Amino acid sequence: MNDSRFEAFFTGPAREYLIRAIDLALEEDGPDLTSQAVFAPDDRLAARIVAKEDTLVAGLPILPLVLDRMGDAARCEVAFFAADGDAVPDRAVVATVTGPAVTLLKAERVMLNFLCHLSGIANRVRQAVAALGGGRTRLLDTRKTLPGLRYPEKYAVLVGGGVNHRKNLAEMLMFKDNHLDRAGGIPQAMAALRRAYQGNMDKMPPVEIECRTLEEVGQAVAERPARIMLDNMDMETMRKALSMVPQGIETEVSGGVDLAALSAIATLGADFVSVGRITHSAPSADFSMLLKETTAP
């Protein structure tokens, strides 16, 4: 399986967060005392991981990582029959796993939880991208992710065809309503930011300004941020706001966007539309693991 996208995404802190999530999932389950009582240490099982619906696949490279964190990767064999991003039909076998029975039975739910959840997000993202119609406007995710699972969920967004927004608060500096109200407005907030980075402006991350009114859009344009967000505006107000933003400043539509509105929003020509629902409300895809006893190698 070509998992270069997975390896490129899960480097540095992203890799560490993924490993922590896997370790926590295994720790939550505790020892599988039932399997240990029924199966001998040398008993082996062969498992097929099967899609139970038409679905995109996301998260397959996590399977061997689960086995590795259990310390049993060397005694297991994993074969892939699909890759992340593939659309597979109902009843398709996406992977097989062979190994000690007690290992596979403990790993089963952890593997499936990741695979079902991430594939479900990829499905929802694919639907949203299709609704945008392939034009200028690209789909962004948000920080509305499950605690501890932000990086896997944002990876699933990429698999589904979306684009990642900032992964943490330091990756992009975003002025939201609370910041602007406290500072006294957009010019004052930007002045405070420049004071904070005085002498280190070259190290300042990109700035995004959230705008609620056309007046705020005009103020934001004057500050030349990297991106201007149009927050909770109606269609006509967004149309006027976008006409005010010159080339060189990215634009983002945000605020309560549902999938039904995406095709209309796409006609406005913004650079991005951010949708929390693609992560926080995506239904899981359905996969199962079918196991049978096998002989030792």
Neighbours of 135 (CB within 10 A): 10
Please write the tens of the pLDDT for every residue from 22-80.
999 999 999 999 999 999 999 999 999 999 999 999 999 999 999 999 999 999 999 99
Containing structural domain, residue 72 = 4-129+283-294
Residues 193 and 207 in one domain: yes
DSSP conformation letters of 80-140 = ESS-TT-EE-TT-EEEEEEEEHHHHHHHHHHHHHHHHHHHHHHHHHHHHHHHHTTSS-EEE
Among the listed residues 176, 212, 239, 277, the single catalytic one is 176
The answer to whether 244 and 230 have CB atoms below 8 angstroms apart is: no
Paired tokens of 213:
């009114």
Look up the CATH number of the domain holding residue 70.
3.90.1170.20
Residues 77 and 100 in one domain: yes
Say whether 210 is catalytic.
yes
More confident residue, 136 or 259: 136
pLDDT higher than 70, residue 284: yes
Neighbours of 18 (CB within 10 A): 22
Say whether 195 is catalytic.
no
Among the listed residues 32, 208, 231, 252, the single catalytic one is 231
Among the listed residues 109, 143, 167, 239, the single catalytic one is 109
Say whether 176 is catalytic.
yes
The reported pLDDT for the residue numbered 293 is 85
Among the listed residues 15, 144, 167, 212, the single catalytic one is 144
Look up the CATH number of the domain holding residue 253.
3.20.20.70
Say whether 124 is catalytic.
no
Please write the tens of the pLDDT for every residue from 156-213.
999 999 999 999 999 999 999 999 999 999 999 999 999 999 878 788 999 999 999 9
Residues 287 and 255 in one domain: no
Residues 226 and 92 in one domain: no
Residues 269 and 153 in one domain: yes
Among the listed residues 141, 153, 210, 271, the single catalytic one is 210
Mean pLDDT of the chain: 95
Residues 123 and 145 in one domain: no
Number of domains the chain is built from: 2
pLDDT bracket for residue 294 (50, 70, 90): confident
Tell me the torsion sign for CA atoms 72, 80, 128, 137.
Answer: positive
Residues 178 and 109 in one domain: no
Say whether 277 is catalytic.
no
